[in-house]
Amino acid sequence: MVQGYCTEEAVEWALNYTDPSNPIGVPKSRHEGRLLGKGTVGKKAMNPEPDLLRGAHFHVLQQMSIVSEYFDEHKKLLLRENPGRNEAWLANEHMRKFNVWFRNRISRSDTPTSEYLKKLAQGPISTVVTYQGYDINGYTFYTKQQDKKSTYQNSGVRVDAYDVTGEDKSMYYGQIQEIWELDYHQGFKIPLFRCNWVDAKKGVIKDKYGFISVDLNRHGYKSEPFVLAKHVSQVFYVPDTTSKKHKVVIPGKRRIVGVENAVDEDEFDQFDEIPPFATTMIKPRIPSANETPYLRNDHQEKVKNIVRKPRVQRKVAK
């Protein structure tokens, strides 16, 4: 009884000197500080082809709401100057010339412009930092090349696109080929994924049970390979036992417990998109529940045998 009383008094005294925001025994998430994006594996610097860098910069501008009014202005200018051209020609011309036009438009503007917009208009530096692994939004992403060195699959991505009304949603699936980080001067960096996208018309199948299968060899949208890293969700491609060409899409799960006061991981689950497994005669079939769907089955890690043989004791003649 005396020992229990002393222990209780000691604990109460110690609690007065502990930080309530950092509970003892609760480990910090390894994603702490990485929700906004942080490279993790294979950092390198490269100078990409000018056309490829221009396309990456154009995609960044296209996704910024602060630039939308300038997009509309440039499109109207092209239409006014080229009244006889079709929509396809105007779209290509818009993609080819907008970056330079936007930079000149902002530099000659008489109205006050934010520093953020000025940096976007100036464009990124020519040297691009690339990674083989990147953490963002609670996901760990790898390139397809890095996946070959890993037991788990982390290169699958999905991006949701909406029409101008914001109601009809289309989903695009792909695999990360390269991870770029564009530097817009003075620490202003934007991460991008360069992906191989699956052709949504010829390579994506949705059955009556709600399962989505993709043919990863059916590539499309080659002129638009980039996507902002913060706009993608992670998916896993599981072998489809009814078709050698197709893979079943399984949504990923963010791991952000302990980050930004998140205490319940279930709040961030995305598995509600998967149809119920209790349905009979599901097609296509996927591996049983006791198999990890995103664990690679074509990867074997070689473990070096370091077990030493026992030494034989020799008898020494007296």
**Does residue 229 lie in a domain region?**
yes
Kindly tell me if the per-residue pLDDT of 41 is higher than 60.
Answer: yes
> What's residue 318's pLDDT?
47
Counting residues of the chain whose pLDDT is more than 90, the rounded percentage is 50
pTM of the model as a whole:
0.72
CA distance linking residue 66 with residue 103, whole number of Å: 14
**Does residue 303 lie in a domain region?**
no
**Does residue 130 lie in a domain region?**
yes
Residue with tokens 């036992």: 241
CA distance linking residue 125 with residue 189, whole number of Å: 10
**Does residue 75 lie in a domain region?**
yes
| Total tally of structural domains belonging to the chain | 1
> What is the rounded average pLDDT of the residues 86-109?
94
Q: Which of 306 and 255 is assigned the larger pLDDT?
A: 255
**Does residue 92 lie in a domain region?**
yes
Distances (CA, A) of 77 to 59, 185, 301: 20, 29, 58
> What is the rounded average pLDDT of the residues 193-199?
96
> What's residue 296's pLDDT?
54
Kindly tell me if the per-residue pLDDT of 123 is higher than 90.
Answer: yes
User: Angle at CA 141, nearest 5°, toward 156 and 161?
Assistant: 55
Give the range of the structural domain holding residue 47, as residue numbers without chain letter. Answer: 38-273
Residues 6+ apart with CB under 8 A from 211: 248, 249, 275, 282, 283, 284, 286
**Does residue 212 lie in a domain region?**
yes
CA distance linking residue 289 with residue 280, whole number of Å: 15
Residue-wise DSSP of 157-210: EEEEEE-TTS--EEEEEEEEEEEEEEE-STT-EEEEEEEEEEPTTTSEEE-TTS
Residue type, 180: W
**Does residue 118 lie in a domain region?**
yes
> What's residue 111's pLDDT?
80
> What's residue 305's pLDDT?
45
User: Angle at CA 87, nearest 5°, toward 86 and 90?
Assistant: 90
Kindly tell me if the per-residue pLDDT of 25 is higher than 90.
Answer: no
Kindly tell me if the per-residue pLDDT of 282 is higher than 50.
Answer: no
**Does residue 222 lie in a domain region?**
yes
CA distance linking residue 217 with residue 205, whole number of Å: 14
* Mean pLDDT, rounded, of the chain: 80
Q: Which of 247 and 293 is assigned the larger pLDDT?
A: 247
